[in-house]
Amino acid sequence: MDEQRWLTYQDLHGPQTVRLSVGEWVIGRGEDCEIVVKDYGCSRRHAKIVVAPDGVRIADLKSKSGTHVRGRPVTEARLEDGDEVRLGMVVFRYSEGLPPEPPAFEGGSVYGEPSPGLARLTAALQRPAGSINGDTRIGELGDSLPTLMYAMHEIGKAFGVDLPFQSVRDLKTVGELLDVIERRQS
């Protein structure tokens, strides 16, 4: 009988569980990856997991932030049951055997720790249209400065505008953010 191998993680899409079958699994932000991760700390094609009958290996694909296994940077490593792998800001847990419990750290995470601010931000951004307006204070959308800056960066990307974190750090309202986006679109 085939041994079951699993990868669990949480990104901005929420908790994820992937059953790994024999073959190659590219992980990254790119839509062409077998495992697409919503985290801009990950490269488009960040790492590759190779599942073979004799074991599982991970290789970094020359990513910018590197691949870490058991807390150490690696270019290639063998994965063992229970290993933690970090790509960008997402922590993956590799396990063998029965399906694992879904990740318990709901609401967003950085290195596996809960982030209530990200949960509130996600909920705020899913409000019905019109409930967030130009006078909405950005601080109402979440409580963590890095989370808010990341969200503003993401909002800019949705409008096709690259907003460096330095350009959004002092904004106070959604209206100010939209003004910056409009100026950069011109």
Task: Evaluate if residue 62 carries a pLDDT over 90.
Answer: yes
The pLDDT tens digits of the residues spanning 8-50 come to 988 777 788 899 999 999 999 999 999 999 887 789 999 999 9
Phi, psi torsion values for 81, nearest 5 degrees: -50, 125
| Single pTM value for the model | 0.58
Phi, psi torsion values for 139, nearest 5 degrees: -60, -20
Give Cβ neighbours of residue 133 (< 8 Å, ≥ 6 apart).
174, 175
Q: What confidence tier does 147 reach under pLDDT thresholds 50, 70, 90?
A: low
C-alpha 71: how far from chain center: 18
C-alpha distances (whole Å) from 96 to each of 18, 36, 61, 76, 116 are 12, 21, 24, 19, 30
